């Protein structure tokens, strides 16, 4: 075994769904979402038991992780009791019935704080659920709390916010990535069975890579953004962050669909993504876009991804090198960020963390022509990208060029490129060279898929010698989530990386 598998302090996750006897309630928090769902459906475990197990785990871990901003203890237990009563009547809403999940704290929850990680919204309590939350609740999911994030989703460390940095469960002095860092930490530490994050330029996939979990950014428009605090309307996407590819498919099946009240929502038929799990990958054609996506990689990432490609060669029909069109970067997001925050940044700038304030104010000088030209370029590019998938079904690349870094002290946003607004500037070629991440660990590869609106997933593909996770990104043409999930699941089954979890002394 090469460096990709060396040096990690880890434990193997047991397959409890197959082995746990009725009455045995130890270690329920170790279950995957799929395993927990099977036990609830059979009546072997109740929603209350799952919720109580998660609450105990959260309370033990929060002093060291800081993954949650708000814990909805009483509401979660009340919902769990209601769903347990339905379970007793043999009323089963589906795979998410009685499953505790957590939400990034920029996704609105009726009657529950939604702060965006900012002192500006520290007392903000929405009156309505976001569209995705309403779907989750209808499917029987239990919202157990709201997760910490980089303030207003405007950075890549989850260390800049009004409640303090999130800690990476694999190395507590390291950050978990961002902006959905609380999600990634909570899933890696097994505090809940699934979560929803948001992704503008990599904010689901980068934390997933840094924390050794699965993070899926669906096609832009596949999932409604209504009720989510916006970062950039052109690029924002809600998606699942889970322990396994199967878990991500279960959640995506519930949240995907057209929302006529969301201008960014696409009226495209929704599949049952559960069918992608176990679907054959042997006929797939896989593309490897070497430049710039494999440039400037840390050696351990290069080795891990190289080993992953060898595994993939045995799973698919063909692996070939391909060229992809360049990405001009996400420069227009600066204007959209400023447009949303304009009322508050002028009246209460002191309530923003300094790095966030600089990002928001930086979008004030965008001209109407620059924005219109940039938006037109994105629209045309998204129509034309399908041509790149004529010869291949999917493309694969490192999620990031490096592993997670130490938590900044004092917390800062890091290099300017670690925000959606900083990637690519105004028409700069952010998809080339070291690109838009402020270095090899940044947003270059993930922001590419965001620019073109592609579905993309990050799955674990190895570990550094010091025990930090490494991620592999698989992307497809627009609205090919099923194909992306099928290959991701095949790779996951062929490798051991998803079975590792951090050894937390809690």
- 125-143 tens-digit pLDDT: 999 999 999 999 999 999 9
Among the listed residues 203, 224, 265, 458, the single catalytic one is: 203
In a domain, 200, yes or no: yes
Token digits for 431? 């998809």
Among residues 61, 118, 158, 179, which one is catalytic?
179
Of the residues 46, 61, 104, 447, only one is catalytic, namely 104
How many folded domains does the chain comprise? Answer: 1
Burial per residue of 460-491, b for 16 or more beta-carbon CB atoms within 10 angstroms, e otherwise: bbbbbeebbbbbbbbbbbbbbbbbbbbbbbbb
Q: Is residue 20 part of a domain?
A: no
Q: Is 217 a catalytic residue?
A: no
Q: 467 and 504 in contact (C-beta within 8 Å)?
A: no
Query: For residue 259, is it within any domain?
Result: yes
Confidence category of residue 409, pLDDT binned at 50, 70, 90: confident
Task: Read off the CATH number of the domain in which 246 is found.
Answer: 3.90.1300.10
Q: How far is Cα 371 from Cα 273, in angstroms, rounded to an integer?
A: 36
User: Is residue 30 predicted with pLDDT exceeding 60?
Assistant: yes
- Give the pLDDT of residue 25: 66
- pLDDT band of residue 412 (cuts 50, 70, 90) is low
Helical pair 299-313 and 481-494, crossing angle rounded to 10 deg: 100
- pLDDT tens across 350-408, in order? 999 999 999 999 999 999 999 999 999 999 999 999 999 999 999 999 999 999 999 99
Spatial CA neighbour of 389 closest among 326, 487, 322, 447: 322
Q: What percent of the chain is predicted at pLDDT more than 70?
A: 88
Q: For residue range 273-306, list pLDDT tens digits in order.
A: 999 999 999 999 999 999 899 999 999 999 999 9
Residues 6+ apart with CB under 8 A from 51: 76, 77, 80, 100, 142, 144
Q: What is the mean pLDDT of the segment spanning 73-84?
A: 98
- Does 179 participate in catalysis according to the annotation? yes
- How far is the C-alpha of 63 from the C-alpha of 148, rounded, in Å? 13
- What was the pLDDT predicted at 424? 37
Residue 26 is predicted with a pLDDT of 63
Confidence of residue 24 (pLDDT cuts 50, 70, 90): low
The DSSP string of 111-180 is: TB---TT-GGGTT---SS--HHHHHHHHTT-EEEEEE--SGGG--SSS--SSS----BTTBTTB---SSS
> Quick check: 424 and 434 in contact, CB under 8 A?
no
Tell me the per-residue pLDDT of 466-478, one tens digit each, with 9 for 90 and over.
999 999 999 999 9
Give me the DSSP letters along 405-431. PBPPSS----SGGGSGGGSSTTT--TT
Q: How confident is the model at residue 411 (pLDDT cuts 50, 70, 90)?
A: low
Residue-number span of the structural domain to which 351 is assigned: 3-15+25-502
Q: Are 424 and 330 in contact (CB under 8 A)?
A: yes
Nearest in space to 163 (alpha carbons), one of 218, 131, 119, 196:
119
Return the bridge partners of 67, or none. none
Residues with Cβ within 8 Å of residue 209, at least 6 apart in sequence? 177, 215, 399, 400, 458, 460, 469, 470, 471, 473
Selection from 483, 482, 484, 478 nearest residue 222 by Cα: 478
Length of the chain: 506
Q: How far apart are CA 438 and CA 324, in angstroms?
A: 22
Asked if the structure places residue 351 within a domain, the reply is yes
Residues 6+ apart with CB under 8 A from 272: 253
Query: Which pTM value belongs to this model?
Result: 0.92
Clarify whether 203 is annotated catalytic: yes
- Per-residue pLDDT tens over the stretch 432-483: 232 233 344 478 999 999 999 999 999 999 999 999 999 999 999 999 999 9
Tell me whether residue 396 is in a domain: yes
Q: What is the pLDDT of residue 327?
A: 87
Mean pLDDT calculated for residue range 229-239: 97
Q: Residue 471: beta bridge partners?
A: 460
The pLDDT of residue 433: 30
Q: Is residue 283 in some structural domain?
A: yes
Mean pLDDT of the residues in the chain: 90
Q: How far is CA 493 from the centre of its chain?
A: 20
């Amino acid at each position: 075994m090469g460096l990709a598998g060396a040096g990690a302090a880890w434990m193997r996750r047991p397959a409890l769904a197959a082995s746990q006897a009725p009455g045995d309630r130890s270690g329920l928090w170790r279950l995957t979402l799929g395993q927990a769902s099977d036990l609830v459906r059979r009546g072997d475990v109740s929603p209350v038991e799952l919720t109580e197990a998660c609450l105990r785990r959260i309370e033990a871990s929060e002093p060291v992780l800081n993954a949650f901003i708000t814990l909805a203890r009483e509401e979660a237990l009340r919902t769990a009791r209601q769903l347990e009563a339905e379970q007793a009547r043999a009323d089963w809403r589906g795979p998410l019935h009685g499953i505790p999940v957590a939400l990034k704290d920029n996704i609105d929850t009726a009657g529950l704080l939604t702060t965006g990680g900012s002192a500006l919204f520290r007392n903000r309590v929405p009156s309505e659920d976001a569209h995705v939350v309403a779907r989750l609740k209808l499917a029987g999911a239990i919202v157990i709390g709201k997760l910490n994030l980089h303030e207003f989703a405007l950075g890549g460390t989850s260390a800049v916010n009004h409640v303090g940095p999130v800690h990476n469960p694999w190395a507590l002095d390291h950050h978990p990535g961002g902006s959905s860092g609380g999600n990634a930490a909570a899933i890696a530490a097994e505090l809940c069975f699934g979560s929803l994050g948001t992704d503008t330029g990599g904010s689901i996939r980068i934390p997933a890579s840094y924390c050794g979990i699965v993070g899926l950014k669906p096609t832009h428009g596949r999932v409604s953004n209504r009720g989510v605090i916006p970062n950039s309307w052109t690029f924002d996407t809600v998606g699942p962050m889970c322990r396994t590819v199967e878990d991500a498919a279960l959640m995506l099946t519930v949240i995907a669909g057209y929302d006529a009240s969301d201008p960014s929502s696409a009226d495209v038929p929704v599949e049952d993504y559960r069918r992608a799990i176990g679907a054959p990958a042997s006929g797939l054609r896989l593309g490897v876009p070497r430049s710039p996506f494999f440039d400037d990689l840390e050696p351990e990432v290069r080795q891990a991804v190289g080993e992953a490609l060898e595994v993939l060669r045995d799973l698919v029909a063909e692996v070939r090198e391909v060229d992809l069109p360049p990405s001009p970067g996400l420069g227009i997001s600066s204007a959209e960020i400023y447009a949303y925050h304009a009322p508050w940044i002028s009246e209460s700038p002191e309530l923003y963390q300094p790095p966030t304030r600089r990002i928001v104010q930086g979008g004030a000088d965008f001209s109407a022509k620059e924005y219109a030209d940039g938006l037109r370029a994105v629209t045309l590019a998204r129509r034309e990208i399908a041509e790149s998938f004529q010869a291949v079904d999917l493309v694969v690349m490192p999620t990031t060029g490096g592993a997670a870094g130490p938590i900044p002290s004092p917390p800062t946003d890091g290099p300017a490129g670690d925000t959606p607004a900083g990637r690519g500037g105004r028409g700069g070629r952010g998809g080339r060279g070291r690109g838009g991440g402020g270095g090899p660990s940044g947003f270059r590869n993930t922001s590419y898929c965001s620019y073109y609106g592609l579905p993309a997933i990050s799955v674990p593909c190895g570990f550094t010698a010091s025990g930090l996770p490494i991620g592999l990104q698989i992307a497809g043409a627009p609205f090919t989530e099923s194909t992306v999930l099928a290959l991701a699941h095949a790779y996951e089954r062929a490798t051991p990386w998803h079975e590792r979890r951090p050894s937390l002394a809690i």
